[in-house]
Amino acid sequence: MRRTHLALLSAALLLSIPATGGAQQGPSGTQAKPPAQRQTQPRLSAITLSGRYLAARVAEQDHDYDSAVDQIDLALGQAQNDPELVYAAFRLRMYAGRIEQAAQLAPQILAARPGDGLANLVLAVQAIKKADYRTAEQQLGRIGGDSQLGPLREYVLAWLKAGEKDFAGARARIAKLKPAGGERAEAPALVIEAQMDEMAGDKAAAEEKYRRAMALDKNGLRTTVSVAEGLMRLGKAAEARELLKTYGEKYSDAVVMDGLIAPNAPIPPQPTPASGISEILFDIGGIMSSDPRNARADLALIFYQLAASLKPEHDFAWLMIAGLYEQFQMVPKAIEALGKIGPNSPLYWQARLRAAALDAQQEKFDQAVARLKTLVAEKPNRIDAALTLADLLRGKEKYSDAVQAYDTAIMRIRNLEERHWSVFFGRGIVLERTKQWPKAEADMKKALELSPEQPHVLNYLGYSWIDQGLHLDEGMKMLQRATELRPDDGAITDSVGWAFYRVGQYDKAVEWLERAAEQKGDDATIIEHLGDAYWHVGRKREARFQWERALNQKPDKDRLPVIKDKLENGLSAANDKPTVYEKPVEAKQGG
């Protein structure tokens, strides 16, 4: 089943959209045109119509929604009354974030299917922008109670009541779904109530609820920012800045609060139904994007786009939109979304880091490095820019430069914590790749000291020891522990098999390496190892077959001549060497 069909199916089930399958079929001329008109239609035009529709479908499959909209709109211009084309154009405009253009098609859709969820919702959003809350409420009422909005529908309706100054009605709506008192889940509801109290002019009630929300959700970024903004509006600016500063210091690797706590930072705007409903639509998008099957990512994008349409400065929405576009491998669109996050946002630093890293995916590696180096210099006390740079350089196999970047990151760590194991692990990898094994080994040990049960570190260090003939017993114990922690990880299974290989237990090596090949059959190293083990147990034809497979699976450059030599001459002392790097003979005596 295609991804786009899954998205439509999700919409049909959850938004009460009739599942006609229109997005999977071409436009129907018999439905769109009477027979007489169809007879006079030039054949070339019909071909062009189909071609444009198919071009839109291909672009949609690639998540290139802007191109898809351009093509479907051209097709729609040739068959303006074709219901399937109209709905396809509406849906693609929503995906592309062209909400105003999508709304233009909504009445045409609702004339045929009055209960359509997305069409009613987008018209409700348009009414909210105009502060026409009664019309918005009527529009949402046509969707039905079992819509995609689900329980959050009551919060949307509560905001509309607040917009109509019916604060008693708004509170009654919220009371229907309010979580039990004292639970963390109560915090968002308290924030909404506090914002509505602000709108009603009850400052004391608003302040009390903001404080309760903060006490329940001290670690939530959105709650912290919302509470701080509320306190600023209530004249508690110094307290709000201190709250933000404390949070920023606690989570310095994730956010930068400089823009919000600056003395000249503007007072946040007053809450409105548009801003409040934007948050609800964002939450719906979050529910969809958390689907473990990833079947509703396209629909999640629609709700993030709607959230940003109601609140253009919704930085969390833009960050999630960027993340989805990155997932869709639409890197320019991801960077464009990140560019919407402004300098005052706590997410601004994160957005700049991510945009720099994405530059490298567009073959703008030098630009990415330059931007990251600027960020490294801009805030000398932060490690994240240096770490991002180090990881980027490591990914591009620029190991010597990566070592320097990791050095910078590690020098900036003020208090070592368990979470820093990955920094030492990363530097250990690039030190090993630059043939500095003693330093690499020290970093691997440090990573394990910080987090003793990290399977990837246990695997890497144990593998490296055994591959070099060092600390065989300890290395084997590490690998066995790693497999207990990650039994289905092909790379770790391969390490155990290779350990048995290096100590000459080839039958066991074959057993483990065959399992690794089943778990991760597209890994050239695993397949090469399996070929080596087959050779040693006399299965030489199968060994050559595996080496041929390895050769076709893009092995590391330094392995290419080795694999070719094995194919031509078989396994020999010259090509059967450690894959980490060969140590002097006298150094291989440990056990």
Residues 97-135: pLDDT tens digits? 999 999 999 999 999 989 889 999 999 999 999 999 999
3-class DSSP state of 220 = coil
The string of pLDDT tens digits covering residues 131-162 is: 999 999 999 988 865 566 777 888 999 999 99
Buried b (16+ CB within 10 A) or exposed e, 372-406: beebbeebeebbbbbbbbbbbbbeeebbebbbebb
Tokens of 368: 């990415």
Question: Token pair of 565, please?
Answer: 């030599």
Tokens of 91: 């849906």
Q: Report whether pLDDT(31) > 60.
A: no
Pick left, alpha or beta for residue 79 (phi over 0 → left; psi -120 to 50 → alpha; otherwise beta).
beta
CA-nearest of 570, 15, 82, 96 to 324 is 96
Q: What whole-number distance in Å separates Cα of residue 212 and Cα of residue 541? A: 71
pLDDT at position 40 over 50: no
Note the pLDDT of residue 181: 64
pLDDT tens per residue across span 285-319 = 998 888 777 778 999 999 999 999 999 999 999 99
High-pLDDT (> 90) share of the chain, %: 74
Q: Kindly provide the residue ranges of all beta strands, DSSP E only, lying in 423-567, ordered along the sequence.
A: none
pTM score, whole prediction: 0.78
Among 273, 221, 271, residue whose Cα is nearest residue 246: 221
Q: What is the CA radius of gyration of the chain?
A: 30
The mean pLDDT value for 490-496 works out to 94
Domain boundaries 484-591, corresponding CATH code: 1.25.40.10
Question: Contact, 495 vs 478, CB < 8 A?
Answer: no
Gap between the terminal Cα atoms of the chain: 54
- Residue 315, judged by CB atoms within 10 A of its CB (0-12, 13-18, 19+), counts as buried
What is residue 224's three-state secondary structure? Answer: helix
- Residues 232-246 have a mean pLDDT of 95
Q: Per-residue pLDDT for 6 more than 60?
A: no
SS3 assignment for 559-580: HHHHHHHHHHHCCCCCCCCCCC
Per-domain residue ranges of the chain? 3-142, 167-312, 484-591
Q: Quick one: which of 336, 394, 330, 391 has its CA closest to 362?
A: 330
- Alpha-carbon distance of 581 to 445, in angstroms, equals 19
Dmax over Cα atoms in the chain, in whole Å? Answer: 92
> For the domain with range 3-142, which CATH number is right: 3.40.50.1820, 1.25.40.10, 1.10.3720.10, 3.40.50.150?
1.25.40.10
Burial class (CB in 10 A: 0-12, 13-18, 19+), 219: exposed
Q: Does domain 167-312 have CATH number 1.25.40?
A: yes
d(CA 519, CA 502): 21
